[in-house]
Structure 1
């Protein structure tokens, strides 16, 4: 039972992280009048028709900047198989071999990353 509750909470958190920008926009739309009165920089310039969009743009930029800043702090690490070693352990009763795989960390930098571009989809209609 506890495992299901914890996994449900983790799934909910992962969905919320994926929809951060949508949540910011939804909060803005629901509270647009209050945000316009409290935070709008252009409320004294009605010809600009801002209606609080300046505050929304700032929030989205801050969210994007904080996301890219956290990604820059953690280097990308992939695990690749370096080599295989085979150890033969002998016992007086039986002999068996055991394969142990060793991994090596590889750090990628921006220019060497591969960009995946899916093939185009053609419809035959």
Structure 2
């Protein structure tokens, strides 16, 4: 039970920034009469039937601008991650593509490339 509540709480906390526009719209619908009467720019011109939509548009634009700014700040703070290394160590480059000595029997060539380990590790000689 506690795990489900905790998971739901964490899900809501992580998505609060996504609900910022919805919060502005919900605030507008709950307080529509007050906004139209007091905060609307066109309250002196009732023929426009604005009913506070100018206030809603300003708040939505401000929320979008704030979200854009916070996203840009987060992207600037992200560390740079290098996924590959372009340099090859020079001590191993000589062993990468060395062709093997030709075999005396033409039907069996063995492997095409010689391993550097085979030159070092071999059975003891009698």
Closer, same or farther: CA 62–50 of 1 in aligned 2, 3 Å: same
Greater helix fraction, Structure 1 or Structure 2: 2
Give the length in aligned residue pairs.
Answer: 83
TM-score, normalized by length of structure 1?
Answer: 0.54
Q: Shift in Å at residue 3 of structure 1?
A: 5.8
CA distance in 2, matches of 1:23, 1:70: 18
**Unaligned regions of 5+ residues in structure 1, if any?**
84-125
Q: Shift in Å at residue 69 of structure 1?
A: 1.3
Question: What is the CA RMSD across the aligned residues, in angstroms?
Answer: 2.3
SS of equivalent residue, structure 2 residue 42: coil
Could you tell me which residue of structure 1 aligns to residue 14 of structure 2?
Answer: 14
Could you tell me which residue of structure 2 aligns to residue 63 of structure 1?
Answer: 63
**Unaligned regions of 5+ residues in structure 2, if any?**
86-126
Could you tell me which residue of structure 2 aligns to residue 29 of structure 1?
Answer: 29
TM-score, normalized by length of structure 2?
Answer: 0.54
